[in-house]
Structure 1
Amino acid sequence: MRTIIRSGPTARLGAILLFLGPLVSWAAELITAAAWQHPHYSPFYNWVSHLGLTGPSQVAFGQIGNSPLGAVMDTGWVLYGILLIVGALLTFDLRRGPRPITILVLAIVSGLGVSLVGIFQGSNADVANGLIAFHQFGAQGVMLAGNVMAIVVGASGARIGLGRGRRIASIVLGIVGLVAFPVFMADVFTGWAWNIGMFERAVIYPIMIGHVLLGSGLLVARQTSLRQPVAVGR
């Protein structure tokens, strides 16, 4: 079956970047959440984006935002977006038809989306000056494009070199994220806002786990191909 992945060190570097992106974001989230002291930060109740709020404590979107290390979270999101886009560019061979092109476009939309979340905050100031539109566009863009990417990657897994388990997991993760998205949006727009952080993460984390599976799967596939003996003709 014809591969849609580049060969050589370029592809290996791309796989490493795809793998590292979500890990960088998770590390930034853990560090930032640990620094949040008053009131207690809950990953179930609090918005993820409130971790990126800088400046004084404020009430934004119905919750108190008080993140002393908000800049760390914002940096983590921007780095994640950059690593995702560059990693996909280095990994997928666009000469191989529509599949790699589709995955790359989804990766770019996702990368730009998560970067916009880090650059434009969900703060009262950005609501007042209208910049909140970029934050919302970025958040919803990555939520949709990221989960669709997971499904497309899983469906194209054989051409990427992913094992059967990773292919199925990627598809399931994407479906879970897409199903959770309208539930999350309903929780937002009805004003119920029950455990908003939990539903938000139910949309976001499948994307991040999918990128970990993709990057690690590419690295495993590369190591396996290097170990395979080369047949020598008589």
Structure 2
Amino acid sequence: MASGIIYFTGEFVAAAAWTDPPYSYTHHFISNLGVHGPLTAFGQYMYSPLAPVMNTGLGLTGLAALAGVAMLKGLPGGRRAATVISAVVLAVGMVLVGLFPGDGGTEGTDYHGIGAILAFVAGNVLVILLGRAYRLLGMSSGLGRLLTMSGTFGLLSLVGFGTMVASGAGVLIGLFERGIIYPFLIGFILAGAALRRRRA
């Protein structure tokens, strides 16, 4: 699936442009890359010169995942419905995150936070569903197990991330957040590559 590639490309480009001081993948929140700044929020300095690149990439990541799921063949009604619903929630979450940067300046409804939670949960649920449907999709059992484990790891990382945010610790918070999103994005890439080989 192209969604993972879109995300990692956007993140790399935006992070590379953040040079003073350099962006830290282990310390900074992912969302900081979507905040132009300069400003300080949530105890972190934010200055992302290419914030629009990151925000556009986030939205496209969710939409690409939804498009990929919509094109899947071989899933029966119930499984297809669950997979499509997860993809829709993921897409909505990613679009919200991209449209409402996490700069802490929003009064009222925190659409960025809502979008992030939706994306975190739905992305990992989606990759688990894909893994459990490996036979129906024509993927290997090994890949199916890997996808399932990736989503499980992502959900466990979400618990750890939430605990750290609630405690205010902030140590390696960027690493913990990436432990939520990287597993399902890598899973999408692997699943997409496998399905592409199958059709070739």
TM-score (norm. length: structure 1): 0.82
Which letter maps to 1:70? A
1:140-166 alpha-carbon deviations (Å, 9 max, x no partner): 111111111111111111001111221
Indicate yes or no: 2:31 matched with 1:49. yes
For the Cα contact (< 8 Å) 1:92–1:104, is it kept in 2? Answer: no
Indicate yes or no: 2:72 matched with 1:91. yes
Separation in 2 of the partners of 1:199 and 1:136? 16
Which letter maps to 1:66? Y
Separation in 2 of the partners of 1:25 and 1:147? 15
1:43-62 alpha-carbon deviations (Å, 9 max, x no partner): 000000000002x3001111
- Out of 82, 91, 98, the position equivalent to 2:63 is 82
State the aligned residue count. 200
Given the superposition, is the C-alpha separation of residues 142 and 124 from structure 1 closer, same or farther in structure 2, using an over 3 Å criterion? closer
1:183-215 alpha-carbon deviations (Å, 9 max, x no partner): 000010110011110000000101101111221
Q: Which residue of structure 2 lines up, in the alignment, with residue 168 of structure 1? A: 145
Indicate yes or no: 2:138 matched with 1:157. no
Separation in 2 of the partners of 1:151 and 1:25? 19
RMSD over equivalenced CA pairs, Å: 1.3
Which letter maps to 1:203? I
Which structure 1 residue ranges, 5 or more long, are not aligned?
1-18, 224-234
Which structure 2 residue ranges, 5 or more long, are not aligned?
none
TM-score (norm. length: structure 2): 0.95
Separation in 2 of the partners of 1:186 and 1:93? 39
Matched ranges for 1:19-30 at <5 A: 19-30=1-12
Separation in 2 of the partners of 1:116 and 1:48? 14
Separation in 1 of the partners of 2:73 and 2:156? 27
Q: Which residue of structure 2 lines up, in the alignment, with residue 66 of structure 1? A: 47
